[in-house]
Amino acid sequence: MLKGSLILQSRRSEISKLEGLLFTLNGFYGINQEKFINFNIAVSEALVNAIVHGNKEDLSKKVLVDIFEYDDSLEVVIKDEGEGFNLNKLPDPTESENLHKEHGRGVFIMKKLTDGYECTTDKEGTTVRLVIKRG
């Protein structure tokens, strides 16, 4: 069931709006604090990617966020209006030649800190789905 939606501008200052909403929602759901903070980090990373890499901080483009509640989980869906990218060309940040690079860890972080990660991308933007289980 859809629990909330946000339409955010493509500027980094918008991130706090989503973080605040998530912390408010967790007040009702009571997800373990450490697990929830990890989820919040992943969601923030997805939102930064949408704003900076997807929309290139173009204020004419928006980031759409939907939050869904299910019996056993919460899901955050973030969609940008960028040009998409090739998921298969992302370097593995755990390979030795990539360990000291400053970029390229976002997707890895999102996968590790959530109970579910899915990304679809095309010429009309990228959609990221992140899931946290309540238990």
Per-residue pLDDT, 100? 60
Predicted model pTM = 0.89
pLDDT tens digit string along 69-116? Answer: 999 999 999 999 999 876 777 666 566 665 566 665 688 889 999 999
Query: What is the Cα–Cα distance from 16 to 22, expressed in whole angstroms?
Result: 10
Q: How many domains does the chain have?
A: 1
Region 24-29 average pLDDT:
87
Q: Side chain identity at 117, as an amino acid letter?
A: Y
Instruction: Please give the C-alpha separations between residue 27 and each of 2, 23, 112, 120, 129, in angstroms, as whole numbers.
Output: 17, 6, 23, 30, 22
pLDDT digits (tens, 9 = 90+) for 36-57: 999 999 999 999 999 999 999 9
Q: What is the CATH number of the domain that holds 59?
A: 3.30.565.10
Residue, of 8 and 88, whose pLDDT is higher: 8
Q: In b/e form, how buried is each residue of 74-93, taking b as 16+ CB within 10 angstroms? A: bbbbbbbbbeeeeeeeeeee
If residue 37 lies in a helix (H) or strand (E), which one and from where to where? helix 33-48
Range of the domain at 17: 2-133
Q: Give the length of the chain.
A: 135
